[in-house]
A = this chain, B = another copy of it.
Amino acid sequence: MKIIELNKSITESNDEDARKLRERLTAEGVLLINIMSSPGSGKTTFLSKTIADLKDRVSIGVMEADIASAVDAVRIEAAGAKSIQMHTDGMCHVDAGMTERALQEMEYEGLRLIFLENVGNLICPAEYDTGAHLKVMLLSVPEGDDKPLKYPLMFSESDALIITKADTADFFSFDEGKCVSAVKRLNPDIKIFKVSAKTGEGMSSWEEWLSLQLPQ
């Protein structure tokens, strides 16, 4: 596992860089997914479970973005995927230039599915195209059902929403119907999955959908 420092992009034309990176990865038969959420929503646990379930069928890599520390990349390696830790040095998001550099450093040849685990933040990451083909956001049950009202851009921009920590639903007053209605008002086409990476509940529906997104 490598750790690289990425505190600014080489270029400022982020949208153009993102478009080029996406086209290159498509041509190479690689699917790149940008995973976003609040701190502590369970991104790493969710990815570890997904990797454990799919690693025998598809070669997976994970780029872990964090301000500091390498705790997530260590967990991902233990789950059985190739990983690289990106340090953003205080920056609240990842952009296309940083993603491209991390991909190069990871030596991704042979991988078919790559997750970019973005910095834990419901605001800034929604504003930057990383070059990923799909944006998947997580919202954990303990965070509450009002988050779509408060962070609308993230919910509007995402292709899929994973409601995580579903096993804690009895403990928290999370109104799933209210949450889903608010999300669908912002983004009628979003795919929604409710899972618990701890019990395995709902993981197969997500993994089935994910498998259909892979390049043939």
Type the 1/0 row for A113-145, where 1 means its CB is closer than 8 Å to any CB of B.
000000111111001000000000000101110
Which of these, B40, B68, B150, B153, contacts A71 with CB under 8 Å?
B150
Chain B residues positioned under 8 Å from A90 (CB to CB): 123, 127, 153
A40 and B144 in contact, given A92-B92, A149-B71, A171-B171 (Cβ under 8 angstroms) = yes
**How many angstroms from the CA of A124 to the CA of B123 in the assembled complex?**
10
Which of these, B92, B140, B150, contacts A123 with CB under 8 Å?
B92
- Nearest B-chain residue to A71, judged by Cβ: B146
**How many angstroms from the CA of A152 to the CA of B68 in the assembled complex?**
8
Cβ A143 vs Cβ B67 within 8 A: no
Chain B residues positioned under 8 Å from A153 (CB to CB): 67, 90
Chain B residues positioned under 8 Å from A165 (CB to CB): 142
Chain B residues positioned under 8 Å from A147 (CB to CB): 39-40
Cβ B69 vs Cβ A146 within 8 A: yes
**How many angstroms from the CA of A67 to the CA of B186 in the assembled complex?**
15
Question: Taking the full assembly, how many copies of this chain does it contain?
Answer: 2
Chain B residues positioned under 8 Å from A143 (CB to CB): 38-40
Interface majority SS on A: helix, strand, loop or mixed? loop
Which of these, B67, B140, B171, contacts A40 with CB under 8 Å?
B140
Which of these, B92, B151, B152, contacts A39 with CB under 8 Å?
B151
**How many angstroms from the CA of A152 to the CA of B89 in the assembled complex?**
11
Does residue A95 face the partner (Cβ distance < 8 Å to B)? no
A122 and B123 in contact, given A142-B165, A150-B39, A150-B69 (Cβ under 8 angstroms) = no
Cβ B71 vs Cβ A142 within 8 A: no
Q: Can you give 6 contacting A-B residue pairs, CB < 8 Å?
A: A38-B120, A39-B143, A40-B142, A68-B151, A90-B127, A119-B123
Residue numbers of A with Cβ under 8 A of B are 38-40, 66-69, 71, 90, 92, 119-124, 127, 140, 142-144, 146-147, 149-153, 165, 168, 171
Known contacts A69-B149, A71-B146, A123-B124; can you find 7 more A-B pairs with CB under 8 A? A39-B147, A39-B151, A40-B142, A67-B151, A69-B150, A119-B123, A142-B142
